[in-house]
Amino acid sequence: MHRRPRGTTLALLFTATALSATALPATALAAAAPAPSRPLPLARLFDNRAVSDDARPGSADFDGAGRSLSAQDLTAAGWAPGTRLTLDGARLAWPRTAPGAPDNVVADGQAVALHGRGGALTFLVAATGPGGAGATGTGTVRYRDGSRSRYTLAAPDWRTGPLSTKAVALPHINAPDGQSARTPARLYAVSVPLRAGREVASVVLPRDPGPAADLHVFAAALRDNGLGRTGSWAASTAGYRAVGPWTDRTLRLVVHAGAGGPRVRIRLANTFAAAPVDIAAASVAVQDAGAAARGTPVPLTFDGGHRGTRIPAGAEAVGEAAGFRVPAATNLLVSLHLPGTVTAAPVHQEAAQVSYLSAPGSGDRTGDTGGAAYPETLTFWPFLTGVDVDGGPGSVVALGDSITDGVKSTSGANRRWPDVLARRFQAQSTLPRYGVLDHGISSNRIVTDRYPGDGVGTDMGGVSAQHRLERDVLAQTGARTVIVFEGINDVRAGTAADEVIAGLRALARRAHERGLRVVAATLTPCGGSPGCTAAVEDRRRSVNAFLRADGGTFDALLDFDAVLRDPHQPQRMLPAYDSGDHLHPGDAGLRALGDSVDLRALVPGRGR
């Protein structure tokens, strides 16, 4: 029997997940549903077979119609039985079961033994049903102190759910009469909030929401949001593009550390990929000049001291902390040896920074102090998504588009407005010295995707802010505050102001559910830029009017429009701040934005 999904919410329309947590007294919860049985490990609750061998497709029936996932496709993606998967910062495990054996549970109020603390609870899920609408249900988190909270878990359909939010897509679906490649199969990582500071004792899965769809759970884990660490540098995956081919070569990526600390770790991602990637070795050093290091690079390790790691399709890898002191406001060299052949990679396209690539077949050059082995250059960042340091108060995340990304700033000079903000935090001692993580993507929008979320593409404008919020904000190391400065590309593309406003509200609600302070910035003028018509200006002003009049959606407002606009022509930027294209500020304009921010507005508990 299939279950009927509950009503669609605005967040579901935007993100294909509906997330909420509401604390309830135990008596109210007891009255709402019968008490579940004693909590058991998730694997002991498995009652459905989702995976079949291609040679025996009838050995599994995921959806009640005899269809299933291909074991061969999963292995090709790096998702073999028992594989550890880091998804949106959570360490999950793909079930250690053979094809045709039970490997997931159909949620119906089962109590799952899950212990510990975390910033969120992440499920690996998918829905099945004839309508393809997904499945939604409400569950309960039980804490060690006896309190409880409710959460809403929404699982997109495994055949029709959005590719832009999937954890992995598989090219085939197995059926009793053969294999179909008409529609890829999809699996999703979905995170829900936890009550801050509470230790989890167990989790009760959602109960049967009615006929029409089933909500399948493959894995669940508590996510560590990097307490005790600060994000020093970060970049968003903007798309998946063709590269090289690169065979047995080393990347030497130049990044600018904002916050400093005594130990360092890196974060890598294979977002949007269809196949795993091998990293054979990695190192970090302070940049001297070009590809040359100031001192011998320090080796980095993964997963219990291993020099390398394999990153499954769609997953991430978080390195172990190494004894390397990161100076604040300093360029670093992060080197990655790729031992195999790489033909496509997840990238941040607009780096505003030159990085380096070793010669073909040159092998592992991660330990090189000099730069002679790196004759080629790159102007994008592949695979690397973060550099974290031990200690510090946490991070401010800047979620934005090309203006946040630093397009039209001087390449290699680190003059993006988040860079300015990071230096200001480090230069003072009155407030916490937050790291500032730049998650701007050129051409990005709030409401619609530019990159479709799957396959090798040429548009590196990213999936929408709605679809990347979990990965690029909520799962970021030590995130305390998010600045949302986005929407100009939406109104320039013809999206109605009301839709942009609804998207901003949804972003704020989801960030508040995770305990973040949420600060908005007004949209800056673009008069004189091609496509910035009178209608675009009307939509921009409507969004800004909402932000200025808002009475509670956001915790504070940064009026970036007022900082940059020409008082005599408010639809245009001041010439002194204009890069020349009338849309992007130049170095002076970006510095004005960074300098205009009241640092107190970014600190939780400081008021509006």
Q: Phi and psi at residue 259, in whole multiples of 5°?
A: -85, 145
For residue 337, what pLDDT is reported? 98
Domain boundary among 334, 356, 387: 387
For residue 506, what pLDDT is reported? 98
CA nearest to 527, candidates 462, 582, 478: 582
Domain boundary among 387, 417, 450: 387
Residue 389, Cβ neighbours under 10 Å: how many? 27
For residue 3, what pLDDT is reported? 41
Same domain, 349 and 425: no
Same domain, 65 and 109: yes
Same domain, 441 and 554: yes
Query: Does 231 reside within a domain?
Result: no
Query: Does 230 reside within a domain?
Result: no
- Quick one: which H or E segment has residue 115? strand 111-116
CA nearest to 84, candidates 74, 92, 76: 92
What confidence tens digit (pLDDT) does each residue in 253-288 have?
999 999 999 999 999 999 999 999 999 999 999 999
The ranges of the chain with pLDDT < 70 are: 1-36, 209-210, 606-608
CA 178 to the chain's CA centroid: 36
Query: Does 454 reside within a domain?
Result: yes
Same domain, 99 and 185: yes
Longest dimension (CA), the chain: 73
Task: Supply the pTM of this predicted model.
Answer: 0.93
Same domain, 427 and 372: no
Query: Does 1 reside within a domain?
Result: no
For residue 23, what pLDDT is reported? 39
Same domain, 376 and 407: no
Same domain, 325 and 451: no
Q: Using CA atoms, how far apart are residues 95 and 47, in angstroms rounded to an integer?
A: 13
For residue 414, what pLDDT is reported? 98
Same domain, 215 and 160: yes
Domain boundary among 343, 371, 387: 387
Alpha-carbon dihedral sign for residues 107, 109, 112, 115? positive
CA nearest to 593, candidates 418, 402, 431, 396: 418
Which residue type occupies 25?
P
Query: Does 235 reside within a domain?
Result: no
Same domain, 339 and 319: yes
Query: Does 233 reside within a domain?
Result: no
Asked if 521 and 557 touch (Cβ cutoff 8 Å), the reply is: yes
Structural domain for 321, as ranges: 242-387
Same domain, 376 and 432: no
User: Could you tell me the end-to-end alpha-carbon distance of the chain, in angstroms, rounded to an integer?
Assistant: 51
Residues of the chain with pLDDT > 70, as a percent, come to 93
Domain with 404 in it: what CATH number? Answer: 3.40.50.1110
Asked if 273 and 314 touch (Cβ cutoff 8 Å), the reply is: yes
For residue 567, what pLDDT is reported? 97
- For the chain, the domain total comes to 3
For residue 177, what pLDDT is reported? 87
CA nearest to 185, candidates 208, 223, 158: 158
Query: Does 4 reside within a domain?
Result: no
Q: Using CA atoms, how far apart are residues 287 and 48, in angstroms rounded to an integer?
A: 52
Same domain, 352 and 397: no
Query: Does 69 reside within a domain?
Result: yes
Same domain, 67 and 200: yes
Q: Using CA atoms, how far apart are residues 92 and 84, in angstroms rounded to an integer?
A: 6
